[in-house]
Structures are given as structure tokens and as C-alpha cells.
Structure 1
Amino acid sequence: MYRARVRGCLLGGAVGDALGYPVEFSSLDRIRAAHGPHGVTGLVPSPGGAGAVGLISDDTQMTLFTVEGVRQAHERERHKGIGGGWSRMVRWAYARWLETQLRTGPEDSEVARPTGGGSYAGPRGGLVTERWLYARRAPGNACLSGLAQDFVPDPEAELGRPGPVNSDSKGCGAVMRSAPFGLTRTDPGTAFSMAARCAQMTHGHPTGYYAAGALAAIVAHIVAGDSVEGAVLRTLRLLARYPGHEETTAALEQALDLAAQGSPTPERLERLGGGWIAEEALAIGVYSALAVPRVADALLLAVNHSGDSDSTGSVCGNILGARHGDHGLPHAWVAQVEGRDRIAALADDLAAECVPD
């Protein structure tokens, strides 16, 4: 079941991303005008995608590179006995993702070459060698500008203060990539801390990195067998330990309260915001996962609104995929997602690495 949850989390996030990416910058009225009164009801062609459906955005790209960095850090500690380097390994993984946004393909990237030059000193090969990932799909400015700096967070540094990189930024670009920290079978508190600190590489506002930590903790609780509601409630107790948690806590509590009222609609969802900032994206993903019983309907609710539809779809998909496993996802949508086989293989690699001896 563990492997199915890991697969489900990554594939579910990719499905939610692919559903939302074509309508990311559209209002709810425009979505309905283009796709009918119910809005998007399945995968539709992406902008600039030559009619292709199922294309992923920067949300899934960065999530996959997070997986690669986390797996490499786990492998380094488990097989070489070298611990404490996870933040550097993840930072190197994000440097490789940045290459895919700045280069035309693997042949143009020194990082992708086994003996490449330059200042990069991390692992080579892996995802950065795969041409399909060299696609610029509306990456966030904070992610691009933040990764232009080589900041690696101190694993022991106190949380609650603005980070040194983009200190006022709390966009959703950190939360949408942070589910993998909850997939490693570590305790939710550690998953929260790792995700929050790695979020500081690009988003320095406490709410920006607390929301990332909260998603990782929610996923960790779900992987351990908790319900979605139980995972959110436990994560709220975890958040309460940290100074400056109030915005993230309030957003999650609002999502819980709104879900309990029933009758989910896009108009009700929009009370939570547009998802452009971290706590709103987290709240919309949580609300959608809680308010609608069927996975497919929950994913559609998460993307049919006037806001950052691919990020909110990704978060909802991460949560529901972790809860139900890959077999609980809509198979027709999974089959059409860009990079599906590679995403599944990466999930299996992570799950195999994190199985205890």
C-alpha cells in the first residue's frame, strides 16, 4: 500500500496540474464560456501545446525534482552513512530544474553532462537529461529569482522569521512542490521542517514556507494511514508550535469549516481566495479533497475557479493520491498525463529507497 500511496501522490498531483494548467489564468466566467456551464470536465488542450492534452506545468516539474533530491539524500544517508545533507541535495536538484527552464535541451546544459564544467558540483544525470522536461510552463518569478541565488538553509535555524531569499514572498511556488517531503516515511514533524526549510530557498515569508511544511505534514500523516481530515487536524496542532503560523492556520481552519457546510461549488471555493499565494493554494486543495467524495469530482472542483488552477489542482491531487493510492485515481486521466511512465518509475524508486531494512 505504501508504494501505491507514493505513486498516487505524484500521479494525482500531475493529473490535477494537467487539468488546471490550460485554465490557470482564466476567470470562472471565461472557463464556463469556453468549456460549458460545468467548466472543465476533463483534460483539455493546453495553451501553446499544439492541441496536446495532459501537459504538466512547472508545478509537477519542480515536484519531480524534489523527489529526485529527497531520494538522493536518503540514499546518501542510508548507503554511505552521510547524513545531514538533504538541504544541499534538494538545492542541487532545484539547480537542475532551473537548467531545464534556461536551456533548450540536455545537449545545451553543462549540468546534464557527466563531466560538465561550471560551478555546479552536484550529482549529474537523472531528470535533467530528459528532453521532455525542457519546457517552460509559466514558472513563478520567485522560484526563478530565488534559485539564481545559492542559498542552502541551516537545518537547525529557527523558523518563524523571514528568510534571506525573497523575504516578502509567499506565493504558492513552494507549497505546490513540497508533497514529496511527506512520502519518505519520516515522521510528520520532520517532513514539515524539511519542506519549510527547503521552501526558504525561494520563498522567505513565513506563511510561504509554513504552507509548504503543512502540505508535507498532511501527506506524511495520510501515508501513515490517517484520513484527510485527521491529517489536517494533526497538522494544525503541529503548526501551533511555531511563531508566525497564524495565516496558515487560519486558512486551513477556514477550509475545514467550509467543507463541513456541504454543498461545494466553485463560488463557495472562491471564498478561500484564488490560490496565487501559499496558504490559499493549500486551503483550496484541502477543501476540495474534503468537500467532494469522488476523486474525479474533487479534482475538477479544485481547478474550476478564478485563480491558480494548476497549483490548487496539484495540491488536491497530491492529497487524494496519497489517500487512495494510484488505483483510486481516474485511470483515463492518468493515462493521458505527460511523463506518466517516468513519474510512476520515479515514485517506485522513492518508495523502494524509503522501505526500512
Structure 2
Amino acid sequence: MSTGVTAVWGRAEQQDFRSRVRGALLGGAIGDALGAGVSALSLEEIRAAHGPDAVTDFVPAHGARGTVTAATQLTLFTVDGLIRAQVRRDTGAWHPPTDVHRAHLRWAATQHDWGPDERRKDNGWLAAQEWLYARRAPTRECLGGLGDAVMGTLDHPKNPAAHDAAAVTRSAPFGLLVGWEPQLVLQLAVECAAHTHGHPTALLSAGAFAVLVHGLARGETLDGSVQRVLALLAERPGHEPVTEALRQALGTVRQGIPGPTLVESLGATGSADEVLAGAVYCALVGEDVRHGLRLAVNHGGPSSATGALCGALLGAMHGETALPPGWLAELEGRATLLELADDFAMEMTQGPALHSPATAAPGWLARYPR
């Protein structure tokens, strides 16, 4: 698989890229945590529990405020897999879906092990983070799809009927491969979605979301990125539900003052295309990150998933400095997210200085073993 582009990075470009990587990962985690405590509630139930303005700040979930779900956990391991793919390329092995799958299996271990397995020297540093060893509402599709070592592929996907949003919510990192061409980003996200989800709607929603993040991380507008996605999807069989959902999101922008009714009009079933459409709409109409994320979680649909997608879009669009400091301060795993984001940015901009087929920085290989 060729990435299509070899990037040359100046200092200002590196700093902008790092800010957008941090923004996408932290923003997605904030949106995930903001909706985690209300995902199973109707709008009426949310207002009954949290007041007429509904959720305006983190509310308790999984025993504390600011806690993330399996969506953020899997996103972190997706990043880890992409870094490991770059490092393993030195050996002549180049198949990112395999490295991402291995990373997802390391996540699966966190869902049944008591803590890190110190005997596994090839696990790297992320799998050694004890806070990740917690079940945070993982879907049956993710647990089942990663329940054995067999990798789902496009020819033989896991859970071929699954079309929920759990494969989409872990797909932002593919869009941060800004040196890749958009069609390759789409293909990689689709192939990795097949690890747990096989329905075309889930596969193509994951690919579409990755390309949206890709455009924003390159400094493009969200509207322009949607148009690119629509053009790429048109070539794919089974694209119609995703294409129609994104077109409805664009059309809903012109239908009046943003609010829960308009978000729910895009769908509240939890299907990947509907969650993606809701997130895109909230990112398009949000006056700022705080406003967009409040729209994304205060409705009767899957609040956490919609918040995670919207947060990643807004974070990639505006960079980390646009994220509300109060939410960042309370966010579970913030230090790990920042460290991983910076490692990803360093690998993608300065990888040849860290490792090559002939030499490598020992510390880097300890963090990301080949």
C-alpha cells in the first residue's frame, strides 16, 4: 500500500499538525465523556436529571466525572497500531490493517485482564497504562469481533450485519495520516472497520469519517471535506445510506436555529450513518467547540458516540487551543492522550530520524516494538 505523498515538514507545519492531532484525540475524548452519562436517555430524561438546559458539563459516568468509554480506548489503540505500522515498515513488512488489528487485540486484553502483562515485552507502553484496564460499555460487536486472533477482512468481515457506530468512533486516527491521499485513508479505515463490523453502512461511515478528519487536519473546511467524501463514496457499492445521511446533514444546517429536534431528525437509532450525520451537523452549526458538543450530546440518540465524532471533527478543525480548559482538566486519561498524540505527530513528521532499517532509537522501539 503506497501512501501517495512524501511530506516535507517545516517547524510551523509541525506545530500546526501536532495541535490538530492533539485537538482531534482530546476533542473526541471530551465529546465521548460528555455524553457518557446520558447515552441511554431520552431528551426528556436528560432534562429531568440535569435541568432544562440539559448537559452543560461533565456528569458522572462509570463512577466519576470526565470518564471516557470504549470508543476512546479503541481510538488510542488505533493510534498505537498506526505508529507500530510505520516502525515495522523498516523490516520490510507493510500492512497497516494487520498492525491496527494487533493493537485492537491489545485493547481486547484490557477488557478481560486485571492489568498489564509485564511478561509481554512486545506490548509497548500504551498497553502498560493501568487506567485502560476497565470495561467502559464496549459493544458486543467489538468484543466478539476481537474475541479471537482471526482478523476480519473485507472479503470475510466480522459481524457482517453490524452497522452501529462503534467502528466509526475509533476511526479518527486514520484521518490524521495527512501525507496520504484521501482515497487511501478511506480504504484503510474501511479495511480496519471490518475487524469488527461488516455491514457496508458501518464500513463506509468509518471511511467517510476518516476522510472528513483528514480534510480538516489539512486545513480544509468541513463543508469542502463533506463534498470530497461524497465524491469518493459515489464509487463504492452500498454507499447510498451514508451519502444520503451526509446530504441531509448539510441540508439541515439551513432549517433554523440548531437544537435537539434537528439533531434527532437526522436519526436516533444508533446506525453508523445517522450518528455520523448528527455529528457533522453539530460540527457545522456549532458556534464554538463547547456549543457544538452540547448540541451533540443533548438529544435522544447515542450521545456519547455523537459527541466523540463531533469532538474529533472540531478538534481537528480548530486545534487543541480551542478545547475548553475546564473539560480538559477533568478528562480521564488526558496525560496518556497527550503523550500518544505527540508520539504520533513525531512519528509522522520525524520518523526517519527515529528509526530506519539500519538504526533506531532504543527508547522508541521500547515504546513501539517492531
Whether the TM-score (by the shorter chain) exceeds 0.5 is yes
Which of 27, 33, 40 is matched with 1:25 structurally? 40
1:259 deviates by 1.5
1:82 counterpart = 2:89? no
Change (3 A) 1:60 1:100: same
Supply the distance in 2 between the matched residues of 1:150 and 1:329 (Cα, whole angstroms): 38
1:241 counterpart = 2:235? yes
1:355 counterpart = 2:365? no
Partner of 1:11: 26
Which of 109, 113, 123 is matched with 2:119 structurally? 113
Supply the distance in 2 between the matched residues of 1:275 and 1:21 (Cα, whole angstroms): 17
Deviations 1:309-346 (A, max 9, x none): 11100000000000000001111101110010110110
Which of 203, 212, 222 is matched with 1:218 structurally? 212
1:209 counterpart = 2:221? no
- Structure 1 counterpart of 2:222, which letter? V
- Structure 2 counterpart of 1:173, which letter? A
Deviations 1:253-276 (A, max 9, x none): 111110132311101110111251
- Structure 2 counterpart of 1:175, which letter? V
2:145–2:152: 8 Å Cα contact kept in structure 1?
Answer: no
1:57 counterpart = 2:69? yes
Change (3 A) 1:196 1:180: same
Supply the distance in 2 between the matched residues of 1:301 and 1:343 (Cα, whole angstroms): 24
Which of 81, 91, 108 is matched with 2:101 structurally? 91
Q: How does 1:1-357 map to 2 (within 5 A)?
A: 1-46=16-61, 48-49=62-63, 52-77=64-89, 80=90, 82-106=92-116, 109=117, 113-114=119-120, 123-152=122-151, 163-185=156-178, 186-274=180-268, 276-355=270-349
2:32–2:304: 8 Å Cα contact kept in structure 1?
Answer: yes
1:191–1:216: 8 Å Cα contact kept in structure 2?
Answer: yes
Supply the distance in 2 between the matched residues of 1:164 and 1:265 (Cα, whole angstroms): 37
SS in 2 for 1:43: coil
**Structure 1: gaps of 5 or more residues:** 116-122
SS in 1 for 2:169: helix
1:188–1:218: 8 Å Cα contact kept in structure 2?
Answer: no
- Structure 2 counterpart of 1:41, which letter? T
Supply the distance in 1 between the matched residues of 2:69 and 2:188 (Cα, whole angstroms): 24
Supply the distance in 2 between the matched residues of 1:308 and 1:294 (Cα, whole angstroms): 21
SS in 2 for 1:288: helix
**Structure 2: gaps of 5 or more residues:** 1-15, 353-370
Q: Which TM-score applies when normalising by structure 1?
A: 0.91
1:151 deviates by 3.6
Supply the distance in 2 between the matched residues of 1:268 and 1:20 (Cα, whole angstroms): 18
- Structure 1 counterpart of 2:192, which letter? C
SS in 1 for 2:305: helix
Supply the distance in 2 between the matched residues of 1:171 and 1:323 (Cα, whole angstroms): 25
Deviations 1:60-106 (A, max 9, x none): 000000000011102222xx152432111101100000011111222
Q: Which TM-score applies when normalising by structure 2?
A: 0.87
Q: How many residues align?
A: 335
1:15–1:54: 8 Å Cα contact kept in structure 2?
Answer: yes
Partner of 2:5: none
2:263–2:278: 8 Å Cα contact kept in structure 1?
Answer: yes
2:168–2:209: 8 Å Cα contact kept in structure 1?
Answer: yes
1:164 deviates by 3.2
